A and B are shown apart, each in its own frame.
Chain A
Amino acid sequence: MSSIKDFASHFFVTGDPLIYGADVSIVLVSLAIVFVLTYYKKWGWLWREWLTTVDHKKIGIMYMIAALLMLFRGGVDALLMRMQLAWPNVHFLKSEHYNEIFTTHGTIMILFMAMPLIFAMMNIAVPLQIGARDVAYPYLNAISFWLFFFGAMLLNLSFVIGGSPNSGWTAYPPLSGLEFNPGPGENFYLLSLSISGIGSLATGINFLVTILKMRAPGMKLMYMPLFTWSVLATCIIIIIAFPVLTVALALLFIDRLAGAHFFTMAAGGNPMMYINLFWIWGHPEVYIVVLPAFGIFSEVVATFSKKTAFGYKSMVASMMLISVISYFTWLHHFFTMGAGADVNTFFAISTMMIGIPTGVKIFNWMFTMYRGRIRLTLPMLWTISFIPCFAIGGATGVMLAVAPADYQYHNSYFLIAHFHQVLIGGVVFGMIAGMYYWWPKMFGFKLDERLGRWAFWFWQIGFYVCFMPQYALGFMGMTRRIYTYPDGLGWGPLNFVSTVGAFLMGVGFIFQVWQIVYSIKYGERDLTGDPWDGRTLEWSIPSPAPHYNFAVIPHVKGPDAWWTMKQEMKKEAAVKVDPAEIKPIHMPKNSGRPFIMSVFFFIAGFGLTFNWIWMGVFGLAGVAICLLLRSFEYDTDYYIPVDEVKRTEAALGRL
């Protein structure tokens, strides 16, 4: 009996009212979901339409929903931290709990919010933009999603079971090593990132091949929409950067599980090795998440200025340049660790150099708007607000890149303000712009403008109120990851203002949720398929797109393919499909195996987190069996007959 009690006290996280609250809410929400699905008899629908789907559009929507939920989780973490720091000497959170919260906030926001949100936009838009019927490997695409999903669930589980990781989102050893961190928390971090990392790498390969091989006839590389170009650059970075993260995490895990000495202070290990490996992935990662946002801004600016993107070639060149230079900057994350003046100088200069192609892009967006017929829709508002925000973020970035000056504000709140400015101002604004832009294509209706503007202004004002004081706090000596601070340092008022700003952004998020719920019922329906008068091919098909995307694959003659088609003939004629050209369409079959395989990955990850080797072996054996079953499966696709395509297209008014 006492052994069970002992086990339970280790297994479940105890002693904090917030966590008991989370326990109760998790149980209640789970019961509610089960009840609703059972009451409305939706289990079969859920399985057939969503859990087994290999349709890139549905996978994209699932990525988006999961990412928004993670934005909520990471956002709650942020608000808890800001409450803890609002006044001097606050003891709202225990210090250990605070460490766990800033760790999960960073991990979730980068890896389980920003990454899936870019994958959402990639999945939703890229195949449509290049005139393809699916991605290169639809089955693998489903595996990628479910690996991300169960990786994210594994990390979130740590909040109530076993305990969360607590050594920062970077998990530097020796703090994250076994000696100083014996609980399961860091294992949760390492395994959840590894599992979702496999999925990210697969997505990178998948979309690179999709873009290289599946473009509609006539679409040369230099005819591709800029968002597709940004995804191409991103995929290259993913393929080259993620293996390094995999190794860094694996080595740390081997240290923790098997008692090896890669990063320990004893027996010859070297913690700096981890820090180098982590940032060789970590810095390019910044560009993995921001380049697709650049792509979205390029699309939005061109569409809502009714002009071709200014400087198309320089846009492409600058993105490719960024993807290369991003590899030569990683050391700027630890200028103060004693690498010496020569090394610091090299990385300081390369860091500043990356501002050049970024600056080129900023000017191109502005020149696209210049003398354009601008429409201030929601995506355009977010894009315009991004430009000054990112310019300030870039300027403070260059300040940090000055190695000698960095000794002054290294690891201070100045840094916190800088990277939130570029990551929120770049990635989050970009993904929100993309979400508004492609929402009609996903669901067939627009999101409500009025509520969207309320959300926009709460976000914008909240953002500056929250982060501008943090630059000052950095100069005043406040360091990052600080738990609480004494009275009399003069940090109190600025911290309070910053907390107010964080809550304003929270209100903005609530407005967006309200906006989505409201628009499902009242949002303007999109019957044309082209609500924004778009320029690229995704707007040439109905909203939401039929599951085969294009009844007839378009022929592309130049950039802005759909715009050109609309210029050449009337729009009513341009959307019509010639029934003589419809042929049977080759499509992949749905499969439940990606889901099941990812559940086995989850089981393996959970077992290894607690060093239960038997459970790890069981999970991995399940994964192996799934792989083997797939290898012996030959009947993986089918054809949609011509009649069915004709019926679908006729119902959509396209014949």
Chain B
Amino acid sequence: MSMTVDDVVSRSGDHGHHDHHDHDQEGMKILGFWIFLVSDCLLFATLFATFLVLRTHTAGGPTGKELFEIPGFTAETFALLTSSFTSGLAVMEMRRGNVKRLIGWLIVTALLGLVFVGLEIDEFVKMVSEGATMQRSAFLSAFFTLVGTHGCHVTLGLFWMTAIMFQLARYGINAVTQRKVFIACLYWHFLDVVWVFLFTVVYLMGVM
């Protein structure tokens, strides 16, 4: 679903009262968001670095190998990766100008995101009930913080997407809502990419 800033901007010409000046503004907001994602990448990189330093510091407590359950994190991965695909379908429907399908695919995306968050909460609850809390060891502090930060990002994305769905229902597809959908989906793909690293570094390397 490759869509550039220019695509979004050039397609927003014939909606409402927005003149040439406003296109620049929508494009500029997308650029700003890309730069924000750079800084968010660094935030996650720092958390990853912390995790990698502390992953062996289990202080006699449970290790990743004992805690992580393959079916659980595999299901999470499927839910999130599929949701990234469906958010791409949403952007495609937006380009076709079909607002109902756009909202439909966003709902599917949000539901898959909800499944992901639900599975993650379930995983956390199980671990805590087994005594693997973030107070137990430095490894677990780093684990809950890294995975939890990603989970918080996903949760925030769900609220955000919901707010945009209401705006789409109200205003339809115009330059502003188009930019909003595009940025929210960009964010969603970004979370997906971060998850791929989480899946590899935390879970796969943890169970191996």
**Interface residue ranges, A against B (CB under 8 Å):** 136-137, 201, 204-206, 208-209, 212-214, 239-240, 242-244, 246-248, 250-251, 254-255, 258-262, 264, 266-270, 273, 277, 280, 586, 624, 628, 631-632, 634
Closest residue of chain A to B58 (Cβ to Cβ) is A268
Closest residue of chain B to A628 (Cβ to Cβ) is B163
Contact of A270 among B40, B57, B61, B135 (CB under 8 A): B57
Question: Within the complex, what minimum Cβ distance (angstroms) separates A139 from chain B?
Answer: 11
Contact of B57 among A239, A269, A634 (CB under 8 A): A269
Chain B residues with CB below 8 A from A273, complex form: 50, 53-54
Q: Is the CB of A209 within 8 A of B28?
A: yes
Known contacts being A239-B35, A269-B138, is A260 close to B163, with CB within 8 Å? no
**Interface residue ranges, B against A (CB under 8 Å):** 21-22, 24, 28-29, 31-32, 35-36, 38-40, 42-43, 46-47, 50, 53-54, 57-59, 61, 134-139, 141-142, 144-145, 159-160, 163-164, 166-167, 171, 176, 180
Contact of B50 among A209, A251, A631 (CB under 8 A): A251
Measured CA separation A628–B167 after assembly (Å)? 11
Known contacts being A251-B50, A586-B21, A634-B176, is A268 close to B31, with CB within 8 Å? no
Known contacts being A246-B43, A251-B50, A277-B46, is A268 close to B138, with CB within 8 Å? yes
Chain B residues with CB below 8 A from A213, complex form: 24, 28, 31
Known contacts being A243-B39, A262-B54, A267-B136, is A254 close to B59, with CB within 8 Å? no
Question: Within the complex, what minimum Cβ distance (angstroms) separates A323 from chain B?
Answer: 14
- A sample of 20 inter-chain contacts (CB < 8 A) reads A136-B28, A137-B29, A205-B39, A208-B35, A209-B35, A239-B35, A246-B43, A247-B43, A247-B50, A254-B141, A261-B138, A262-B54, A262-B138, A267-B137, A267-B138, A268-B139, A270-B53, A270-B57, A277-B50, A634-B176
Known contacts being A267-B138, A270-B138, is A243 close to B145, with CB within 8 Å? no
Q: Is the CB of A261 within 8 A of B145?
A: no
Chain A residues with CB below 8 A from B47, complex form: 247
Closest residue of chain B to A266 (Cβ to Cβ) is B59
Known contacts being A254-B145, A260-B145, A273-B53, is A243 close to B138, with CB within 8 Å? no
| A interface majority secondary structure | helix
Question: Within the complex, what minimum Cβ distance (angstroms) separates B122 from chain A?
Answer: 21
Known contacts being A254-B141, A269-B141, A277-B46, is A240 close to B29, with CB within 8 Å? no
Measured CA separation A212–B176 after assembly (Å)? 22
Chain A residues with CB below 8 A from B176, complex form: 634
Name 9 extra pairs, CB < 8 A, besides A209-B35, A269-B54: A205-B35, A209-B32, A239-B35, A268-B59, A268-B139, A270-B57, A273-B50, A277-B46, A277-B50
Closest residue of chain B to A624 (Cβ to Cβ) is B159
Q: Is the CB of B39 within 8 A of A242?
A: yes
Closest residue of chain A to B21 (Cβ to Cβ) is A586
Measured CA separation A248–B58 after assembly (Å)? 21
Q: Is the CB of A262 within 8 A of B141?
A: yes
Question: Within the complex, what minimum Cβ distance (angstroms) separates A623 from chain B?
Answer: 12
Question: Within the complex, what minimum Cβ distance (angstroms) separates A339 from chain B?
Answer: 14
Closest residue of chain B to A259 (Cβ to Cβ) is B135
Question: Within the complex, what minimum Cβ distance (angstroms) separates A278 from chain B?
Answer: 11
Known contacts being A254-B141, A261-B138, A631-B167, is A205 close to B32, with CB within 8 Å? yes
Question: Within the complex, what minimum Cβ distance (angstroms) separates A128 from chain B?
Answer: 19
Chain A residues with CB below 8 A from B39, complex form: 201, 204-205, 239-240, 242-243
Task: Give the top 4 A-B pairs by smallest Cβ distance, nearest first.
Answer: A268-B57, A268-B138, A260-B141, A268-B59
Measured CA separation A632–B166 after assembly (Å)? 9
Q: Is the CB of B38 within 8 A of A239?
A: yes
Measured CA separation A203–B39 after assembly (Å)? 13
Chain B residues with CB below 8 A from A208, complex form: 35
Measured CA separation A206–B29 after assembly (Å)? 10
Measured CA separation A631–B31 after assembly (Å)? 18
Question: Within the complex, what minimum Cβ distance (angstroms) separates B113 from chain A?
Answer: 18
Chain A residues with CB below 8 A from B160, complex form: 631
Chain B residues with CB below 8 A from A136, complex form: 28, 32
Measured CA separation A213–B136 after assembly (Å)? 49
Q: Is the CB of A267 within 8 A of B59?
A: yes
Measured CA separation A88–B54 after assembly (Å)? 45
